[in-house]
Amino acid sequence: MIHPSSVIHPNAIVPDSCEIGPFCIVGRDVSLGNNCRLHSHVVIDGYTELGDNNEIFPFVSIGLKTQDLKWKGGITRTHIGSNNTFREYVTIHSATSDGEYTRIGSHNHVLAYCHVAHNVEIGSYNIMSNVATLAGHVIVEDHCVIGGLAAVHQFCRVGKYSMIGGCSKVVQDIPPFMLADGNPVHIRMINKIGLERNGFKEEAITALKQSHRLLFREQLTVSNALSRIETDLPQLPEITHLLNFMRTSQRGVSR
């Protein structure tokens, strides 16, 4: 199932169940899982490992050298889970420093022209719409939606079940369960539709609405809002995660 025009290094690990279309390049230190499909003109190089059932569309580039000018050589790695889709012209770069990783989980849907920079960590079940860009060291938790043409600054975090609107400029962390939009980005409301579609109970949605009001509507300081959330609201798993996320922010939280 390998097209004769493709170049596969003899040391690369490519199971027989994989399908590799025309004009693809798979480098020496690449390992593909079972049933991966490379449509055409795909380049996978560097110390790169993919899990099973990944579908990669034309002109995708995975695992190549970081664009970070701090790169000094060494072995850097790219690790990708299973059941991901990478559409046309997606670029995923390896990490910057020796021994470091760029990591992507499983069941992600990354649309055309998206960029995942060095040392990014993406969880699972995320959607990146066309031309969304993650700068270096960004962390994206699970079940997030990042709108088209949105850009996330270095070292920012995107909390789980959040949604970022198209063309948004993100320079601080996006709290989990929230809907963010704008340039610069602001937290607009909880991601109510996303939470409902993912089966969140009404009790959790109500508590998150109250948390949003305390954090972003009542003009409290962040510390005071967190104290109110901790004392006034039921300590559900969603509330505990929100509190921990806010308290561990390094860049500050978008408001």
At the top level of CATH, the class of 7-191 is: mainly beta
Give residue limits of the domains in the chain: 7-191, 196-247
Burial 97-117 (b: 16+ CB within 10 A, else e): beebbbbbbbbbbbbbbbbbb
pLDDT in tens, the chain (255 residues): 999 999 999 999 999 999 999 999 999 999 999 999 999 999 999 999 999 999 999 999 999 999 999 999 999 999 999 999 999 999 999 999 999 999 999 999 999 999 999 999 999 999 999 999 999 999 999 999 999 999 999 999 999 999 999 999 999 999 999 999 999 999 999 999 999 999 999 999 999 999 999 999 999 999 999 999 999 999 999 999 999 999 999 999 999
Residue 222's CB is within 10 A of a number of other CB atoms, namely: 14
- Strands 178-182 and 185-190 come out as antiparallel
Collapsed DSSP state (helix, strand, coil) of residue 214: helix
Count CA within 13 A, CB hemisphere, residue 102.
30
At the top level of CATH, the class of 196-247 is: mainly alpha
pLDDT at 153: 98
Measured in whole angstroms, the distance separating CA 46 from the mean position of its chain's CA atoms is 20
- φ, ψ of residue 205 to 5 degrees: the values are -65, -40
| DSSP assignment letter at 126 | -
